[in-house]
Amino acid sequence: MDSIRIQGGVALQGKVRIQGSKNAALPILAAALLAEGQSVLENCPRIADVYAMISLLKDLGCSVNWQGKGLCIDASGLCCREMGSEAVRGMRSSLCLLGALVGRCGQVVMEHPGGCVIGQRPIDLHLEALGQMGVVFSEEDGRLLASADRLRGARILLPFPSVGATENVILAAVLAEGETLLEGAAKEPEIGALCRYLKACGAQITGEGTGQICIRGGRSLKGTEFFVPADRIVAGTYLFACVGAGGSVLLEEAPWQEMEAVLRTAEDMGAKVWASREGVYVQAPARPGAVECICTAPYPGFPTDLQSVALAVAAAADGDTLIRETIFEDRFRVAEELGRMGARLEVQGPESVLARGVEHLKGARVEARELRGGAALAVAGLMARGETTVTQCKYIERGYENLCRDFRELGARVTSA
């Protein structure tokens, strides 16, 4: 899909099922390297990042294929060699293979991981934490080399609750000797999903969902079947699309228990939101209301991955909204493209932007520059008067199975090319 064309101004109606979680599936795919035998991941999303991870696992000798119940992974043929550079550079989440491969093979050679351009995203936290477990790092010709004669448990304090660093420590610790106590751990639901998968394989882990996680390593792990939970970021994207474009929508299987900050923000914008066993039902206001401040924060705060979408809605809200970004310093790349659509956005540095709401956005040709910004432009297109074309949609495919199909199911006039 190279581009999306949207005829805006149509209120959304109906229901749409929320896909499996990208941010849960990728570290679980890395964790499958640690288990003997086959694992089957049900509800695994069919997105570009998952296909890239599959390519990496196959390059490493794993058997990976889609079958009736989902994605089947067997790492018995794992060959510990350098990972393919193209897939690593294109996907930040390949970094979670670091802890898994060090645990399984004792060594890793990989390109520095890439992904969306949303800031510097240093990996120092990962390296320092794994270093405390006995991993030695070096660099050669721009590649990262990691080795460990013997992984050992340690007491590790993360100065910031990094999701990726938390995942890497867990993945390394389950096969390490002794006990690892990780303090300052990330509390994101995706960490909980990773731990549930590993425990189903036989790992001993306690404290997931809190800032202190204890992993007792050295146990043999066996493959298992696991259901990937629904994607709270996709659910939030579609929720804000309804708030901005109008209408009423049922987000089937949306994980509302994990979306408190998002649902509260939607209500602050004037939406009516109900959560039930079916998912989340949202009824949009006649026009979104301004929110004094939306500030991103580690879970359970407002997720940085939904900041761009919230900004698109705030651009046409009734009043001024301040958006503060505390996780990544380059999350406002979408502001320039929204400006082409008539948004009045005052970027006040790398950490904040003031959205002075306009009565309506207007259709324009805009370019996606990263995953969540691309989704935000598609949402803005639904809200705008006239036709919007979003180009470079390869970014959107990294996290959304079929954005166009899902919006069409809700009545939007959307085509892809």
Residues labelled catalytic:
116
98 Cβ contact list (under 8 Å, min separation 6): 108, 110, 126, 130, 144, 146, 168
What is the chain's length? 417
| Residue linked to tokens 């209120």 | 11
Tokens of 380: 């803005």
Q: How far is CA 192 from CA 199, 228, 413, in A?
A: 10, 11, 37
Whether the bond between 122 and the residue before it is cis, its omega within 30 degrees of 0, is no
**Kind and range of the H or E run holding 143:** strand 143-147
Question: Phi first, then psi: what are they for 372, rounded to 5°?
Answer: -75, -30
In angstroms, the CA 323 to CA 314 distance is: 9
CA nearest neighbour of 360 among 334, 391, 388: 388
CA nearest neighbour of 108 among 78, 76, 146: 146
380 Cβ contact list (under 8 Å, min separation 6): 244, 312, 315, 338, 341, 343, 361, 366, 388
Alpha carbon 303 to chain centroid distance?
10
Identify the burial level of 51 via C-beta atoms within 10 angstroms of its C-beta, where 0-12 means exposed, 13-18 middle and 19 or more buried. Answer: middle
**179-183 and 143-147 beta bridge pairing:** unpaired
Residue 275, sorted as left (phi over 0), alpha (psi -120 to 50) or beta, turns out to be beta
Taken in order 55, 57, 58, 60, the sign of the CA dihedral is positive
Are the C-beta atoms of 198 and 205 separated by less than 8 Å? yes
Tokens of 242: 């309804």
Q: How large is the C-alpha radius of gyration of the chain?
A: 21
Q: How far apart are the first and last CA of the chain?
A: 6
Are the C-beta atoms of 248 and 281 separated by less than 8 Å? yes
